[in-house]
Structure 1
């Protein structure tokens, strides 16, 4: 059994990699951070489809949270003022707004600074059409 949570991100996406680097440096979450391309997704009980769609946070017991909920978990794990922000992200209506913002960013990460064509979320174009 793992002792620490795991944050899974898209290692092929420049925007995602830069975001994770900034979070690790400034927020300092108490977790392992691994690109889904190098993760044992089966043992983490996360599908590749989910890992491509959102950044899952997997607890040591195997429960997975994705998207804005994963961001809240990252912040909560860091403690201090970050955990206050993480707690706020779990409250409605902030939680609902955070989900919308997360999806907007995730679906358009290829257009954001550091993003490349490799960052495009499969199916995001179809959802926008």
Structure 2
């Protein structure tokens, strides 16, 4: 069992890498952040297909959360006011809206600041944790 949660992100995507850096500096989540391209995905219980599709939060006991739920977990782990924001983000109907916003951003991340063609998300298949 791992001691810390793990944030898995797309290390080839400039937008994703920049976003994780900002989150680490400002929010300071209690986790290890690792690009999926350098992670032992099998030991984390996730597939490369899912890791390409969305950011993932893997708890120390192996539970996997993706997309907006992963963002909520990041905020919750930081404590303080960030955890209040994370708790709100995890509640329906906010969670449903957050999922839509997350998909909108993720599906168009190649067009956002720092994004490139490499950032394009393959397929439109939905993955829910």
Q: Distance in 2 between matches of 1:49 and 1:123?
A: 10
| TM superposition shift of 1:63 | 0.7
| TM superposition shift of 1:123 | 1.6
- Report how many residues are paired: 126
TM-score by length of 1: 0.95
Quote the residue 1:119 is aligned against: 119
Q: Which runs of 5+ in 2 are unaligned?
A: none
Structure 1 segments (4+ residues) deviating >3 Å = none
Quote the residue 1:91 is aligned against: 91
Alignment of 1:6-85 (within 5 A): 6-85=6-85
TM-score by length of 2: 0.95
Partner of 2:46, secondary structure, is coil
Let me know the Cα RMSD of the aligned residues: 1.3
Q: Which runs of 5+ in 1 are unaligned?
A: none
Quote the residue 2:2 is aligned against: 2
